[in-house]
Amino acid sequence: MPGNSRIPSGAIHTHTSIPQESAGLESSAESTRKLDDVDRKLADSSNPEWERHITLQGIPVVPVPILPDLSLVRMPEEENVKPRKRKASAIQILTRYWDNRAPMHHFGQEADWLYKRLSSGQHKTRLVMPEGIRPKGKRRSLTSTPTWEGIVETWLGMEASDRASTLEKTMKHVTLPENDTRLGLRGQSGVLAASDIDEFTVLGPYLGKYCHGQDLQVEQGIHGHNVGRYAVDCSMDTLRLDLCGYGYGNVTVCINANTTYRPGEPVFQDNAFFTMVIYRGWPYIYVVSKQRINKGEEILVDYGRFYWLGY
């Protein structure tokens, strides 16, 4: 074998070169005899010379030829391969993304499994209101769970037409004028009070598609960034859950924020808020008036600073 042959660095043997003095060619019979001698000693581990042989000379090795890396070779047929065309986006932009007849329950695949699991047990009703909101006087009952249990049951028992007519009594969808001081909302949707609304009045449920686990990614693949724009976080403790209103909700998804928390943007007084009721182990979101709202006034909710971090 040639004197400059080398074993690849990634091989399992420890030798890296063949000594120059052993580089001469040997006869076939001599090579065979030496290999037979090694096999015999390997088979007879009790041979007193074997351990000494390893210590002094090491295990004999055979050079491994370095094969070319075919992954680095550009094959002729690859030169004529045309690049694949990317599939066109399947994002759906809806011209009408809400309906007052929307159902109270609409689930993604994983959320449906979760709902069936949670609703089968015994659960205590819980109420989650924004910090600082404490109804008083005749509206004080809104702080009690029995009151909210009745409200949820009432909406769950309504037919689609009843839900629509009830919402239309208090809220009206409008297209905001082009001279609106909020530049980003010119020509966009808004919600006005369809009648005079008293303080701490339940306007209706914020509806949508419940998403858990991979459900949210599935929806984003269908409706893109609009999913996040119209989603309400209704997580319970450490259980992540989102209520995605785009394409599945009612007129409440059109309620605008009172401010974007950006410098120079106008700030209006929020006159409504979201509250969450966990009833029979499942969350429901409702819109409640924070103060008296006169007919024709726009209904506004404070989305919170965290919402605007993504915009």
Give CA–CA dist 287/284, Å, rounded.
Answer: 10
Per-residue pLDDT of the chain (311 residues; tens, 9 = 90+): 443 333 333 333 344 443 444 444 445 566 556 556 655 555 554 554 444 443 343 434 444 444 454 444 445 554 555 555 555 557 887 778 999 999 999 999 999 999 999 988 888 999 999 988 988 888 889 999 999 999 999 999 999 999 999 999 999 999 999 999 888 889 999 999 999 999 999 999 999 999 999 999 999 999 998 999 999 999 998 899 999 999 999 999 999 999 988 888 899 999 999 999 999 999 999 999 999 999 999 999 999 888 887 66
Asked if residues 249 and 100 have their Cβ atoms less than 8 Å apart, the reply is: no
Which residues are paired to 283 by β-bridges? Answer: 278
Q: H helices of the chain, where?
A: 28-43, 48-57, 109-118, 145-156, 160-170, 215-223, 226-229
Residue in 267, 255, 245 with CA at minimum distance from that of residue 299: 255
> Would you list the DSSP string of 39-65?
HHHHH-TT-HHHHHHHHHH-----PPP
Local structure of 19: helix, strand or coil: coil
Asked if residues 220 and 208 have their Cβ atoms less than 8 Å apart, the reply is: no
- Is the pTM higher than 0.85? The answer reads no
- Pairing between strand 202-206 and 231-233? unpaired
Burial zone of 110 (CB within 10 Å; 0-12 exposed, 13-18 middle, 19+ buried): middle
Give CA–CA dist 160/170, Å, rounded.
Answer: 17
